[in-house]
Amino acid sequence: MNLGIIGCGAIGTDVAKVADTLDEIQNIFLYDIDKARANDLKKLLKKAVVETFNEFIKKVDVVFEAASQKAVEDYAEEILQNGVDLIIMSIGSLFNDKFLLKLEDIARKKKCKIYLPSGAVCGIDGVLSASIDTIDEVTLVTTKSPKSLGKSYYKRTVIFEGNAREAVKRFPQNINVAASLSLAGVGFDRTNVKIVADPVATRISHKILAHGKFGRLRAEVENMPNPNNPKSSYMASLSAIATLKRIINPIQIGA
């Protein structure tokens, strides 16, 4: 299998390093808007080459996106039109319902898959299962240090409270977990989100609360920040790697 990576930041680097060790992956094609970053990552790998998107799209079986919502908007349609599977980390890009439906329609016609990793949260599989029947309410409470949010606060402060659609618009680099949760459960407009900046927080906390016909769900994780990017949880990288391995592995685990 040949893998294309768009975005050679912290998560893209973590995925590329593991992909480089997998026998099932023959070649890794790296692309970043900052070519120097892609070249720096290439030096750490054995199987990688740096190419533009247009150069590698005809050569790959799967593309892993770890760049930005704009990158998804710019490249997702063409990736799918080429019949190539796509792993999206910038899941907040899918808050636009028309865009989401368009990608889904292309994927169906071209017989390819769009993979959305759970990211930095746990409990997504439970919400997904519960959504088969009725879910009455879903809430996500995210607590981060002000630094990881690019803010400056000296006391615990609620900086956002509203629905997931507005949250991913206002915090595109910080709250992709809200998009994952929305798509697994009751949608962007009905998923409640609270974002808290806490100056004493040393870990990134995500708490999911849901109830419905299935019963009640409470899932909480306290993540270490990615050492190369404090805005991202290290768990997000691990989730991305797990998704890549799931594509390769014949045994599928989870709802």
Q: What is the amino acid identity at position 234?
A: Y
User: Is 38 strand, coil or helix?
Assistant: helix
Please say whether the beta carbons of 144 and 195 come within 8 A. yes
Rounded Cα distance, 24 and 170, in Å:
39
Please say whether the beta carbons of 185 and 127 come within 8 A. yes
User: Is 59 strand, coil or helix?
Assistant: coil
* Residue 74: partners with Cβ closer than 8 Å, 6 or more residues away: none
As given in the structure block, the two tokens for residue 115 are: 């993979």
Residue 82 DSSP label: T
Residue 14 DSSP label: H
Q: Verify whether residue 206 is a known catalytic residue.
A: yes
* Residue 36: partners with Cβ closer than 8 Å, 6 or more residues away: none
The alpha helices in 111-232, defined as continuous H runs, are 124-130, 164-170, 176-184
The CB density around residue 248, as the number of other CB atoms within 10 Å, is 13
Q: Identify the active-site residue in 41, 80, 206, 238.
A: 206
Active-site residues: which are they?
206
